[in-house]
Structure 1
Amino acid sequence: MKALTIRQPWAWLIVHAGKNVENRSWRSHYRGRFLVHAAKGMTLREYEEAKAWSCACGAIEIPAFGDLERGGVIGSVELVDVLDHSDSPWFMGPKAFVLRAPQALPFMPVKGRLGFFEVPTAHD
């Protein structure tokens, strides 16, 4: 199954708190469900900026810095479109991967990669 690495806490916000767009600098022709891979790296500054942004968007509170799972798959979500602009409060540009139907999954350690990449699943 395809996966996309996303920095924490943004990955957690997609799976658990209604973040309905993923901001990217590139387009994708892929549409469909993909695994949300939480990147291994996360700085305190990234965490604090995301926490402030999520409060402004009315999201539920992000778990503590040390409680966020990293370096593996945390859920899945469906990519339904890629836009140049979005009215979503989560949009920062330049491209918006429009997301829907997030599902939390048990943590599965996986090494991340750039762009979409394949992760073997039990069904493969």
Structure 2
Amino acid sequence: MKALTIRQPWAGAIVHQDKRVENRTWKLPARHHGTRILIHAGAQLDKNAKIYGPNFGVYGAIVGVATITGCHWSDDGTCCSPWGFQQAYHWTLDDVAVLPEPVTARGALGFWTPTADALNAVTVQQTGVTW
């Protein structure tokens, strides 16, 4: 299973609010369409973000899981309001689940593979979920 690092507060908005789009400058590789991924809260805050909320203070940890259901380009961002950015690829997410306890992990750019220990810690918390 792959993970995707997302800066706070966006990772928190995905797992704790209704953010179901991830804005990216690059198109989703076809092999990741329809796959279940781990949501990793990056080590840094997006200083341009203007939202805050519960558990947005978690950094450097896997905080949830989601399924990537699609990808489309948006010129004006209105298709995925209020979360869609202008001039960005919108990766749509579904079946989002928050982990009861964040799993500390070092992230990376792009999709990355967590350690066996991190995957085991996630699996223990997601009993009954098929990866």
TM-score by length of 2: 0.76
1:13 and 2:29 correspond: no
Separation in 1, partners of 2:93, 2:21: 5
Question: In angstroms, what is the RMSD of aligned CA positions?
Answer: 2.0
TM-score by length of 1: 0.80
2:68 to 79, 84, 94: 79
1:42 to 36, 40, 45: 45
Separation in 1, partners of 2:18, 2:94: 9
Separation in 1, partners of 2:105, 2:70: 26
1:112 to 74, 83, 107: 107
Segments of 5+ residues of structure 2 without an aligned counterpart are 124-130
Q: Which amino acid aligns with 2:39?
A: V
Overall identity of the aligned pairs, in %: 31
CA contact (8 A) 1:10 1:50 kept: no
RCO comparison, higher one (Cα < 8 Å, 6+): 1
Segments of 5+ residues of structure 1 without an aligned counterpart are 52-60
Residue in 1 that maps onto 2:2: 2
Structure 1 stretches (4+) deviating beyond 2 angstroms?
none
Q: Structure 1, residues 25-75: CA drift from partner, whole Å, max 9, x if none?
A: 0112212110000001116x33xx331xxxxxxxxx6137xx611001000
Q: Which amino acid aligns with 2:22?
A: E
Residue in 2 that maps onto 1:88: 80
- 1:118 CA displacement: 0.8
Residue in 1 that maps onto 2:26: 26
Q: Which amino acid aligns with 2:7?
A: R
Count of equivalent residues: 110
Separation in 1, partners of 2:50, 2:2: 25
